[in-house]
Structure 1
């Protein structure tokens, strides 16, 4: 459904898209469209004071369209097109409303890089203060944008980051998922395979959230941390079963490393844990293929956003294409 919505709006309005998001210009006002399974989120930048001044009139102009009322969050006005069958008609009405109420003040937005005016392009800019990007489509200067993109590419390719913190993040991510898995085993006496698939993914997310550098070293770290964390899970799980069998506290069993390890990592015990092991290995392979620390993937994401840079100028509202 999301792909159908994207293709329909791109075709009808000549939007620029990288295959997952789309962008538009209405009278020089940059707009981004993000596609969910059954709705489209439309965002455009605006100052809070300006939004409050036109909010009532803006919502009134869309009252009969079926579009949800506009919301404001951290410098952006957001709309939701929640009727897939009429998304094209809804977006046409929304573009008219944006042209009437938001576009007139859009040109006053300063460049997010230098703070100056007279911007000449619309492009995605990362507004985050950390490793997790918050990309928004805004007015900027071509020269400022080129400098920012080059800095990002250099940072990724050179492996800049905080490796020790990245390792800590990977450990926390993997341990969190495995802790939840262990609690389910203890409390419900059941196993959720999807959680074991998620172990390596959680380690990867934690690695990047804690600013671990991109590169092969990061990918190998994520895999190694995931394997060690899973081995720790097997050890704790075995300790739990031994403690239950002997009717003693688990904390009396865990310190008996040699005895527990001989049981936990024996072929017989591992064979009983085949379900968890298979799902974990699948997740490990997926994480290795789609590693969040992949330089190629990160540079590809930048290139995808670069394909949607648009020059600013006088924009006319196009006619809706025949369907």
Structure 2
């Protein structure tokens, strides 16, 4: 698909296909309809920056970026990614829907276009090419490409693995509503291994020392342009010391406490589309009630 992004004849043919579908993005926001996200036919798409998202099951999927002022006129209807998460999760299964990778791709590119409007070399204006996957300076010709920043997200456990006394560490941000907790996370620093980033972030945010670190999985996350790399870790110490201003509270939860509090709503866990939820439920051993 990458090679086809510069094939203008192929792109024009696919855009003319009535089966093609387009997600309209105002700046970095999307307006869902009553039945979910609206993918309009290419013939009904507004003018804007076209993004080729890919092909699947005989359908070519696109996004079109229009000016963000459209979203400012109706802020309650045009939602950022976090507001779209309920539309990207199956109501019954809690699993990610087939739309999620396409939406993550689209919003990641839209965020990149929004944040990169001028050439970092000469300050000239940037124009889109390669179906939205490249920006080139109109003055010096230097191209810019999307990049993903590595970030670690981790579930840290303590106690005998699998025992009733085993517990995991969750934290919360100052700005979150009461009861909302999640796994810890942070960006990698230059020259740092992923495992050391896990240990450093947990130590900085909670004072807990982490020993063993095991890779779990990953998830692209365009808030902004991040690749979330998930890990399980084992705590060497358990005393919590909050010195990072980003973390308001951090607590250890046994499985029984987590189940009980999630059921009564006093503990609100991340949504099913997020890797944070996957880390928590992998440790817990199955689905949990409630989500953001």
TM range (shorter): under 0.3
- Report the structure, 1 or 2, having the larger helix content: 1
